[in-house]
Amino acid sequence: MTLQIHQQVDARGLSCPMPIVKTAQAFKAVPSGALIEVLATDPGSVKDFAAWSRTTGHELIEQTADGGVYRFVLRRK
Amino acid sequence: MTTTTLERPLKTTSASPLPLPAPEIEGAVKTKELVIVNWSGELDKVWPVLILSSTAAASGVRCRVFVTFWGLLPFVTDQKRIVGDNWMQKMLTLMQRPGIDHLKLSKMNFLGMGPWMMGTLRRQYGVASPRELLEAATAMGVEFIPCQMTMDMFGLKREDLIDEMGEPAGAATAIEIMTEADASLFI
């Protein structure tokens, strides 16, 4: 089953805290329940997106790593 | 040897003259709050202030930054180079150029060599600059509160500061917001 991604955030090459900041800005523009896919290369983002998901309540539903690129799928609460 | 008994007011739990705080509405979740006192004005301290405040706002945490003493100079607009009314105030900004792009390092500044190297490393590693972070922070609703006393002492007027700054306030405001917040930092 493929997920219906509402919007993609390309944070590759960006360092902390910009992947989170850009994702938060993207979340403001999408409706509740929408899925956002984030691509990042910052290794710190693995722990950071998990923490951000706990703080905000936006669910982290998928997380993969492929050749130094981290992919996160989050659902807006 | 004599012992003196200190008279202490009796602790009573009943008949408080102060009105009790309104009972919290069940189910309502209080927004988490972070307060940062930004006093140093140095690159290696203003940078983390901007990283933490923008991340707080991105995480749905209300963030207020009380900007005081040296910390106020980075928030002077780009249009101003020398600010102040008298020669002493003018000397301050002559020696320490104000504005978000002209921050010095607290250590290893080496007449600007340190900040230049930091800028080069920053670009190499895709780290956002203080200016970019300040723009992100204000766009996401971080409130920056300038200290009125510092403004007076440095000869800074409201129009000398960036438009995004809030209403100037004093120490009592800082104490109020710090004690109400879930976390407060002095950087």
Query: Residue for token digits 């190499």?
Result: B124
Digit-coded pLDDT (tens) for B138-158: 999 999 999 999 999 999 999
Residues in chain B: 187
CATH class held by domain A5-75? alpha beta
Q: Is A71 helix (H, G, I), strand (E, B) or coil?
A: strand
Q: What share of chain B in percent tops pLDDT 90?
A: 81
What does DSSP assign to residue B100?
A: T
Shortest CA gap B54–chain A (Å): 7
Across chain B, the runs of DSSP E, i.e. the strands, are 33-38, 62-67, 143-146, 183-186
CA B11, CA B6: separation in Å to the nearest integer?
14
- Establish, for the pair of chains A and B, how many residue pairs have beta carbons separated by less than 8 Å: 45
Q: How far is Cα A19 from Cα B75, in angstroms, rounded to an integer?
A: 25
Higher pLDDT, A4 or B26: A4
Catalytic residues of A: 16
ipTM rounded to 2 decimals: 0.87
Confidence category of residue A71, pLDDT binned at 50, 70, 90: very high
Would the pTM of this model clear 0.95, i.e. be above it?
no
Residue B16's pLDDT band (cuts 50, 70, 90):
very low
pLDDT score, position A42: 94
Cβ distance of A21 and B58 shorter than 8 Å = yes
Which residues of B fall within a CB distance of 8 Å from A21? 54-55, 58, 128, 136, 140
Q: A52 in contact with B at a CB cutoff of 8 Å?
A: yes
The rounded radius of gyration (Å) of the Cα atoms in chain B is 21
What pLDDT does residue A2 have? 72
- The architecture in CATH of the region B38-186 reads 3-Layer(aba) Sandwich (3.40)
Provide the residue ranges of all domains of chain A, joining segments of one domain with +.
5-75
Task: Give residues with Cβ within 8 angstroms of B34, minimum separation 6.
Answer: B52, B53, B56, B61, B62, B63, B64, B181, B182, B183, B184, B185
Among A16, A25, A52, the residue with its CB nearest the CB of B59 is: A52
Residue A75 has pLDDT above 50, yes or no: yes
Q: Note whether A55 contacts B59, CB cutoff 8 Å.
A: yes
Residue B31 has pLDDT above 80, yes or no: yes
| Spans of all domains in chain B | 38-186
